[in-house]
Amino acid sequence: MANGLTMYEKLWQNHLVEDKAGETPLLYVDRHLIHEVTSPQAFANLRFQNRPVRHPERTIATMDHNISTRSIEINAAGEGAANQLRALEKNCKEFGIKLFGMGHKNQGIVHVMGPELGLTLPGTIIVCGDSHTATHGAFGALAFGIGTSEVEHVFATQTLRQNKAKTMKIEVKGQVGAGISAKDIVLAIIGKTGSAGATGYVVEYCGEAIEALSMEERMTVCNMSIEFGAKAGLIAPDKTTFDYVEGKEYAPKGEVFAQAVADWKQLKSDDDAVFDSVITLEAKDIKAQVTWGTTPGQVISIDGVVPAPEDFSDPIEKESCVNALKYMDLTAGTKITDISVNKVFIGSCTNSRIEDLRAAANVVEKFVAKGHQVVSTVDAIIVPGSYRVKEQAEDEGLDQIFMDAGFEWRLPGCSMCLGMNDDVLGEGDRCASTSNRNFEGRQGRGSRTHLVSPEMAAAAALTGHFVDLNA
Amino acid sequence: MEKFNKHTGLVAPLDIANVDTDQIIPKQFLQKTERVGFGVHLFHDSRYLDSAGKKPNPEFVLNKPQYQGASILLARENFGCGSSREHAPWALEEFGFKVIIAPSFADIFYGNCINIGLLPIKLSENEIEQLFQKSAQGDLTLDIDLPNNTVSCGELSFSFSLSKFQQYSLEEGVDSVGWTLNKLDIIEAFEAKMPAWQ
């Protein structure tokens, strides 16, 4: 008898428009999210070819990548950014696409906006010209980043050609200890697999520790799937998922919602499904994580020390360690808790949702009670993921907790995660960042990034270095 | 898209693993609405000593005299990881590269290359190592034969594979959007059967 199907295989079958010999399979795309940076050339080519957007109602646009976090003025982030933002306005108008532009109540980082508006639904295929589209996999949607040529293909046809990926199951058994965040879980996974450990795979996260996560936490985990090479990350939709989606602005309502939930319950991998690869972690072994190098896989526990090249047997990893230590200006053997930072960034599609800000504020309050403020040598900014998150945080008084402690409270956007606006690190700056990439130059030429959880970033702002909050 | 058949060109060896698309084209150069103007910024932070891009870094491989005019980039594992920006293959292509050879590529980058007619070739670690060694001994020119799926130089010859449709698309310079638009009836039939919530 044939084996059961994995969730990925079910999503694949449900979206397979055509699988013809000699051609790459054609999949249906339910939802297309776009932003200002990776869409203009796709629109230009449509115009050149005189082709319409086939289903404009299935595409939603927002402005996030290069906007200012100090002003809602379109010109505030410089001429290049303003040109792209205006081009997006013009293109959306011409092709009939809904746009949440500057200052709109629904504007936000594309991967924060989609879920909170109910645009992200289980059982769908969601694409966006951004590699962190994997975030939406937290809902049991097959979601992945695409290039601009593919953006154009989706515009014109509402489909995409994709070769089938292999399947990987990552099971996190048991429960994580107190104070261990979703960010720590995913960084620990990447530390185990390496930065390309899942290239060619779609990953499904499961196990007790994953099931226990809220939707915000699941999004943090799936968001970083691309950081170890996975095409997409998936988590089986369950009651947590359905409760989150129900009532959201664009989510189905009434009987249609009930039918949807019935369908979504069928998505989880069958008990006898076979994965091409299986990785298992014990949740209790996961400690708070800090990256020390220039790929997300170069990560270690907070109670560890900066590794030495000799710690690696693989010659390429050894060489990468040498290069990373040089770029990061770190000495092997240094305790992670002895690393000082002068910048702190809390934000990005990985960690800018309401729960992230609550977690950071909670740490801030504890340290403030002990007499701490943001250290005078540290600049710390907090960038909420969307206007909805910002409003929620302000309703809860989180902005005041942050500002009273010496943090800057900014407007939503991608901000310092990639530094396309003026939120850029300087040469030699060392940043505790809740974002997803610690690549050389990512946050600014010659700058050094340590990826951490919102809790760890907050603690670093208040002490000037990394802290073992469980010690 | 231009058709790709055979190509002979000089190899530039980039001996670094995990080269990400931020390195290939840093974010400050993504603020264009056109598809051109990226080649000059390729590998900006390693290629130039200054932020303005006026002072070439003589140590960087693409600035060395012996690699001027290179059209084949030899790279290490996980090339093109990170951001989905198609600007990365655009920059490589505009700089003059026709072929990238590596033991492994990040998935999105690999697809983006195919979609613009830049040929990504996967060879084994061992074959890649041989090419790096050969390149270190002096100028290495390779013959790339897409129809026969070979990379060769004198007696050395390695074979590679692409999926059938990717191979066809590159050889014929297929307009992939036009190709799919010819199947609108199939897509419409699919849509007619979708559940209401979808």
Asked if A436 has any chain B CB less than 8 Å from its own CB, the reply is no
The percentage of residues in chain A with a pLDDT greater than 90, rounded to a whole number, is 98
Nearest by CB to B104, which of A38, A124, A199? A199
Mutation to test the A interface, candidates B14, B18, B43, B169, most A Cβ within 10 Å: B18
Asked if A231 has any chain B CB less than 8 Å from its own CB, the reply is yes
Q: Is the pLDDT of residue B34 over 70?
A: yes
What pLDDT score was predicted for residue A471?
83
- Note whether A81 and A66 are within 8 A (CB): yes
User: Each residue of A409-458: pLDDT tens digit?
Assistant: 999 999 999 999 999 999 999 999 999 999 999 999 999 999 999 999 99
What pLDDT score was predicted for residue A419?
94
Query: What is the mean pLDDT of the segment spanning A304-330?
Result: 96
Asked if A256 has any chain B CB less than 8 Å from its own CB, the reply is yes
Query: What is the mean pLDDT of the segment spanning B97-103?
Result: 98
Mutation to test the B interface, candidates A14, A24, A45, most B Cβ within 10 Å: A24
Q: Is the pLDDT of residue A1 over 70?
A: no
Cα–Cα distance measured from residue A433 to residue B198, given in angstroms and rounded to the nearest whole number: 37
Distances (CA, A) of A391 to A107, A173, B36: 12, 36, 40
Average pLDDT for chain A:
97
CB contact (8 A) between residue B180 and residue A159: yes
Q: Find residues 304-363 of chain A whose CB sits inside 8 Å of chain B.
A: 316, 319-320, 323
Q: Where are the beta strands (DSSP E) in A93-188?
A: 98-100, 125-128, 142-145, 159-161, 166-173
ipTM: 0.97
Average pLDDT for chain B:
97
- Note whether A98 and A61 are within 8 A (CB): yes
Q: Is the pLDDT of residue A2 over 80?
A: no
Residues B61, B66, B68: CA angle, nearest 5 degrees: 75
Query: What is the mean pLDDT of the segment spanning B147-165?
Result: 96
pTM value is: 0.97
Asked if A84 has any chain B CB less than 8 Å from its own CB, the reply is yes
Cα–Cα distance measured from residue A42 to residue B176, given in angstroms and rounded to the nearest whole number: 13
Nearest by CB to B115, which of A66, A149, A418? A149
User: Each residue of B46-98: pLDDT tens digit?
Assistant: 999 999 999 999 999 999 999 999 999 999 999 999 999 999 999 999 999 99
Query: What is the mean pLDDT of the segment spanning A370-377?
Result: 98
Residues A376, A382, A387: CA angle, nearest 5 degrees: 155
Nearest Cα neighbor of A198 from A172, A163, A234, A166 is: A166
Query: What is the mean pLDDT of the segment spanning A173-186?
Result: 97
What pLDDT score was predicted for residue A3?
83
What pLDDT score was predicted for residue A453?
98
Radius of gyration, CA atoms only, chain A: 22
What pLDDT score was predicted for residue A330?
98
Q: Retrieve residue B191's tokens.
A: 């849509």
Nearest Cα neighbor of A284 from A198, A212, A363 is: A212
